[in-house]
């Protein structure tokens, strides 16, 4: 029974850490492929086990094994995220305490995940978007992607719209803008859905060299009127 409770406490710690990483990366399987991610889960799990041993040793909630296990699992999480002080060095504020140690693993997991994701996605997105006309796709593609999903938060959609609007105004060529539009959307919607959306919209967003976009037509009219 003791070993089972230790295992449950370990799993509580790991599960909580896993959900924290999942909220950051949204890719369930990638998390366990990153060494820093695994280390993060392990540290949280071990902390919960240590907490269980201490709870058991000091007879907290004695007699109630379930309560002891839950207390162990959750208290470890709180302690791991605590800091005894905040020190400002220049413009950066740093936590002093156990939270700082955990942050090191979290930062390492962030960097690893970004590296893996960017390696995987950049070449695929470039190939996917190479024939896409940015002007035609900048509204159609995001709308199609978000409409195909059920749970993209409104705030996230607004952030994407702000980024697309800024990208639209940048002095970059159409192809570069299209690739960056793809990268932006892949972060929110996953690459597979983006591929499906591009394939579905196809003719309406593809760069057709023979057909002028609205922007080109307006530019011609303005030149004519000058």
Partner 1 sequence: MKTSSFGGFIDGYKSSNIASIEGILLNKIGELVELLESAKELNNNGEEELTYFINKSLIVLKNKNKSDVIDLLITFGESLKLNISILSRSTGQVKEKVRKIIYNFVDAAKMSEDSTLINLAITIGSNY
Options 106, 109, 132, 160; binder of partner 1; rule CB under 8 A: 160
In this structure, are residues 191 and 125 in contact, taking their beta carbons and an 8 Å threshold?
A: yes
**Pattern of binders to partner 1 over 168-187, x per CB under 8 A?**
x-------------------
152 in contact with partner 1 (CB under 8 A): yes
Task: Choose one: 118-126, 151-159, 171-179, 189-197; the region binding partner 1 (CB under 8 A).
Answer: 151-159
| Residue with smaller CB distance to partner 1, 26 or 127 | 26
Q: Confirm or reject binding of residue 23 to partner 1 (CB under 8 A).
A: no
Q: SS in 3 state form for the chain?
A: CHHHHHHHHHHHHHHHHHHHHHHHHCCHHHHHHCHHHHHHHHHHHHHHHHHHHHHHHCCCCCCCHHHHHHHHHHHHHHHHCCCCEEEEECCEEEEECHHHHHHHHHHHHHHHHHHHHHHHHHHHHHHHHCCECHHHHHHHHHHHHHHHCCCCCHHHHHHHHHHHHHHHHCCCCHHHHHHHHHHHHHHHHCHHHHHHHHHHHHHHCECCCCCCCHHHHHHHHHHHHC
Among residues 120, 162, 176, 204, the one that binds partner 1 under rule CB under 8 A = 162
142 belongs to the binding site for partner 1 (CB under 8 A): yes
Distance in Å, CB of 154 to partner 1, minimum: 3
- Nearer to partner 1 by C-beta: 142 or 182? 142
Q: Does 200 bind partner 1 (CB under 8 A)?
A: no
The interface mask with partner 1, positions 206-225, x = CB under 8 A, is: --------xx-xxx-xx-xx
Per CB under 8 A, residues contacting partner 1 are: 139, 142-143, 146-147, 149-150, 152-162, 164-165, 168, 214-215, 217-219, 221-222, 224-226
């Amino acid at each position: 029974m003791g070993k089972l409770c230790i295992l449950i406490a370990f799993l509580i710690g790991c599960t909580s850490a896993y959900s924290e990483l999942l909220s950051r990366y949204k890719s369930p399987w990638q998390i366990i492929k990153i060494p820093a991610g695994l280390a993060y889960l392990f540290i949280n799990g071990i902390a919960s086990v240590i907490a269980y041993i201490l709870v058991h040793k000091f007879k907290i909630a004695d007699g109630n094994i379930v309560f002891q296990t839950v207390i162990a699992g959750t208290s470890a999480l709180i302690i791991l995220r605590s800091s005894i002080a905040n020190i400002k060095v220049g413009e950066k504020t740093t936590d002093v305490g156990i939270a700082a140690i955990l942050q090191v693993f979290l930062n390492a997991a962030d960097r690893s995940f970004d590296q893996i994701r960017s390696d995987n996605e950049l070449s695929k997105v470039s190939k996917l978007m190479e024939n896409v006309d940015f002007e035609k796709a900048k509204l159609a593609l995001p709308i199609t992607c978000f409409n195909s999903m059920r749970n993209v938060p409104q705030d996230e959609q607004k952030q994407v719209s702000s980024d697309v609007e800024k990208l639209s105004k940048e002095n970059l060529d159409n192809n570069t803008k299209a690739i960056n539009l793809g990268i932006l959307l892949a972060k929110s919607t996953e690459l597979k859905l983006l591929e499906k959306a591009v394939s579905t919209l196809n003719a309406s967003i593809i760069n057709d060299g023979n057909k002028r976009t609205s922007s080109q037509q307006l530019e011609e009219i303005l030149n004519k009127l000058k």
